[in-house]
Copies of this chain bind each other. A is one copy, B any other.
Amino acid sequence: MNEVLRPLDTLNGARNKSVLVELKNGRQYVGKLRSFDIHVNTVLEECEEKVDGELKRKIGTTFIRGDTILFISVN
């Protein structure tokens, strides 16, 4: 293992893959990770908003402001 591995490296490895973004307000967004930056601003493609696991809205290509994000699960 590389001692200087950083959290953003993990996001970088998930580009173009489906990820789950969970926000501080409890909402969930699932979509293909297109890009992110050091503020964790994140763009998802074909983004779906879910509440309690159920699809609520399809909102297409979506820029999510990083400071609203709780976690990003990359599995």
Contact = CB atoms under 8 A, between A and B. Distances in A.
Interface of A: 1, 3, 5-12, 15-16, 20, 23-25, 29, 34-37, 40-43, 47, 59-75
Given A24-B25, A66-B65, A41 B7 contact: yes
Contacts of A20: 59
Given A1-B16, A34-B5, A65-B66, A59 B41 contact: no
A73 B62 contact: yes
A63 B72 contact: yes
Contacts of A74: 60-63
A65 B71 contact: yes
Given A15-B3, A42-B7, A62 B68 contact: no
